[in-house]
Amino acid sequence: MSVRVEARTIHVEGTASVGDAEPILAALLEDPARTVDLGKATRIHSAVVQILLALRPTTIGQPADRFYELHIASLLDASKGQTIANSSIAESKCAPHPYGAQREAK
């Protein structure tokens, strides 16, 4: 396991696997003000990324994961201070399902 919780910081070191997602989630739910230190991480599993994107904790450091650097870091930075209610996700309009009216009529 590559997760270590110390007081107000969650340290992610080495490869963060799917098994690391639960302890990170538990630590952030216990104290949402905790900081996540990614500076010594080399790879981050998508389950861990999903938790970071959903809970948006303060993060410090950059992992040595090129995919994270190119695609995930900007998402975390862009989502700071947003909630689902004020994000572009809530404002998007989806086209109605083509069979929706038929299903409701039955």
pLDDT tens digits, 22-34: 999 999 999 999 9
Whether 33 is covered by a domain: the verdict is yes
Residue 55: CATH number of its domain:
3.30.750.24
**Pairwise CA distance, residues 93 & 52, whole Å:** 25
pTM comes to: 0.70
Number of domains in the chain: 1
* Single-letter amino acid code for the residue at 96: P
CA atoms within 13 A on the CB side of 74: 5
Whether 28 is covered by a domain: the verdict is yes
Q: How confident is the model at residue 98 (pLDDT cuts 50, 70, 90)?
A: low
Range of the domain at 76: 3-80
